[in-house]
């Protein structure tokens, strides 16, 4: 019997692996980073924690994962719930 496992992706912030549905997905739209829950193209993922987004930005991990220079709009932080 073959079970289909949910796809696992890696957070670009902390490196944690998690089911894709638990993570936020981003793509490069030209040179802008955009939130894109699904769709074609290479995606970069983070946990739903602001800390992971901030760490990914600080490390330029989105650009590394997407293999192109992307501008990260700080307003994307609104996608996250602040944890403490």
Residues that bind Zn ion (CB under 5 A): 11, 13-14, 16, 47, 52
Q: What does residue 78 show for φ and ψ, rounded to 5 degrees?
A: -70, -15
Q: CB-wise, 31 or 79, nearer to Zn ion? A: 79
How far is CA 7 from its chain centroid? Answer: 14
Residue closer to Zn ion, measured from CB, 8 or 31:
8
What H or E segment, with its residue span, contains residue 3? none
Q: Distance between CA 62 and CA 84 in Å, rounded?
A: 23
**Least Å from the CB of residue 11 to Zn ion:** 3
Minimum distance of Zn ion from residue 65's CB (angstroms): 13
Where are the extended beta strands (E) located within 24-82?
24-29, 32-35, 44-46
From the CB of 1, what's the least distance to Zn ion, in Å?
33
Nearer to Zn ion, 6 or 31 (CB): 6
């Amino acid at each position: 019997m073959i079970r289909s496992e949910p796809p696992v992706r890696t957070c670009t912030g902390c490196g944690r692996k998690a089911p894709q549905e638990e993570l936020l997905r981003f793509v490069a739209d030209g040179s802008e980073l955009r939130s894109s829950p699904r769709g074609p193209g290479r995606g970069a993922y983070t946990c739903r924690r602001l800390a992971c987004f901030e760490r990914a930005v600080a490390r330029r991990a989105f650009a590394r994962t997407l293999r192109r220079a992307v501008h990260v709009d700080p307003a994307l932080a609104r996608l996250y719930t602040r944890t403490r």
